Each structure stands twice: as C-alpha cells, then as structure tokens.
Amino acid sequence: MDSPNAARNGALLAAVATLAVGSSFTAGSVLSHYPVLGGQALRYGAAALLLGALAARRGGRPLRTLRGLTAREWARLAVLAATGMVGFNAAVLAAERHAEPAVPGVVVGCAPLVLAVLGPLLAGRRPSARLAAAGALVAGGAAVVQGLGRTDTAGLLLSLLALAGEVAFALVAVPLLGVLGPVLTSAAACAAAAGEAGLSAAVLDGGAALRVPTAAEAAALAWYTLPVTVLAFCCWYTAVQRLGAERAGLFSGLVPVAAALSAPLAGAGVLGPAQLAGTGLVSAGVLLGSLTERQRPVRRQTVVVLTSRSSRSASTGTSCTETASNRSRGR
C-alpha cells in the first residue's frame, strides 16, 4: 500500500498539474491565430529538451534507458503521443467545427468516471463502487461548471474521440512509468509528440506550418512549454504512479474549476452560481475518492491495453466559446 504521505503528496501533485492546465486558458486565446500543429511541435520539442536535461541532472542515464526500451514500449510511446497529446488536440479542434465548444468540454469531462471503471478492469482488478461514484460526481460537477451546448452527430463522435485521448493520456503511460519514471516518460512522450506534430504540420500545412510568433504569442508558447507541459506533465505522471490512474483521474475535474476561478481575473468571464455549484460537486467527488483504499504503486509488469492524456487546458461555462479550444491547447 502507499504510505499516507505518498498518497497526500500524490494528491497535491495531481492538483498542481490540473490547476496549472486549467488556469492557462488565457494563453490559449493569445494563440488562436497561430498554426496549431506547428505550435504543438515547438512546444513539445522545447519541453522534451528541458525534460531530458532534467532527467539527466537527476543522476540517471536517459539515453541508455531509452535504448533499452523494447519495440512494444516504443510503440506505446508513439501511441501515447498520437492519442493523448496530438490526437487529443486535433479531435477537440475538429469537434468545435460541428458543436458548441461546451460539448467536447462536457464529454471530455467524463474522463474521471471512465478512468475509475476502465483503469481497474485493464489492470485485472474489480472497479471500486466508491471511486466510480466519485468519478460520476466529478464528471457531473465539470458539466455544471462548463454548461451544455448543441451538436450534430459528427461533433459528438469527435468529442468521444477526444475523451478517448484524455483517457489514453493516463492509461497508456502506466506501464511506461515503471520503466522510465515520470520525468523520462514525459520527456520521451513530448519528443514523440513533437515529431508527430511536426510531420503532420509539414504534410498538411506546408510552408504555413510555422511562422515567427509575436511577442505575446512567444510568451504564450513559453507558458505552455514550462508550467503547462514540463511542470504539469511531471506532476501528473508522478501522481498517477503514486495514486493509480483512477484516483489521479479524479483531479482532472479541477481543470474547468481552475478555468472558472481564473476567468474573472483575466476579464474573460464571471464566476456565477453554476460555477460555484459545479466546483462543490467536483470537490465532493475528489474528497470521496480520497477516502478509498489506497492502490499499489505502478509496477513494471502492469499491463494496460488501449483500444482508443495537458497538459491539456479547458475553459468553462464562464466562457463557453473557449471551452474546448483552450482544453486542447493545454496538452
């Protein structure tokens, strides 16, 4: 079992990661006209270099460790980057063309419930009824914070793909954490995502894939690189390792809460009764989940099979027109 201190530290790290992502929606608005794939390639590439340097500074030999990965583990890294990072962003942005931004935000907000059920099943354990109830509370609270919206069938399907990416960001990484640790997993995933985003940008956008950012755009890219990627990814994967994916996943409900609380400070929304009520539901869900039996730490032999994550950033009902796009840019 995890010690009480490890559980508390894991909860704190999960909260820091999701709050960092949720509070970054103002940077997303600054990048609304910057090439999406090119921006992702820059962000993830810079983050990979910083995280790699951090892994080396911690006394490890990251290159030797990476060379020792099996073909299956390299494939898992590629899938993690493609689904939980680059693919997640693409799905959310595509969903916005068919639905109001709140729709993918609400659908992706169901991730805590999915993780509470799917995580244990894939690890060969029976889901906890209390964790499932906690996940439902968090998902419901996130929906209340963000509000609902209109969509067509394509928008709903694309939103479900984004949900799959959100779930993949946690579950696909679980076996890698026992091999690489949180920092090197984050570095390798960012390097893979940078390559995938760069290749996609070159194919789809050609010469328009990159341009020199304005001062404001450069500052926003730096924000996404440092606190939203380097800090949040390390904190998130450390929390997943200590708490398990299903318990750490409950804290993803804090993303729209953080966006709701920070929106008035940026003059981008008003904190109303719905946001306060949703925050209460999310808090109740996280508290209920924290009362469950502590899970074992991630082991190398843990096997997770994915059929389908910020740091991803999400906005809220306080500014529904930005909900999904800001969530996509957060990861």
- The CA distance from 203 to 209, in Å, is 9
Tokens of 330: 């957060």
The per-residue pLDDT for 295 is 46
Tokens of 301: 């032999």
How many helices, marked H, and strands, marked E, lie in the chain?
17, 0
The per-residue pLDDT for 1 is 44
The per-residue pLDDT for 314 is 36
Under-70 pLDDT residues of the chain: 1-3, 25-27, 29, 101, 262-270, 292-330
**Is there a contact between 141 and 275 (Cβ–Cβ < 8 Å)?**
no
The per-residue pLDDT for 12 is 95
Q: Give me the phi and psi of 297, to 5 degrees please.
A: -65, 160
The per-residue pLDDT for 268 is 55
The per-residue pLDDT for 240 is 95
Taking alpha carbons only, the member of 88, 102, 95, 79 closest to residue 157 is 95
List alpha helices for 147-243, DSSP H: 153-171, 174-204, 215-225, 232-243
- The DSSP letter of residue 22 is H
- The CA distance from 105 to 91, in Å, is 12
The per-residue pLDDT for 82 is 97
Tokens 């508390």 correspond to 8
CA distances from 127 to 130, 215, 280, 288, 307 (A): 9, 48, 24, 15, 18
pLDDT in tens, 64-115: 999 999 999 999 999 999 999 999 988 888 887 887 767 777 888 889 999 9
**Single-letter code of the amino acid located at 122:** L
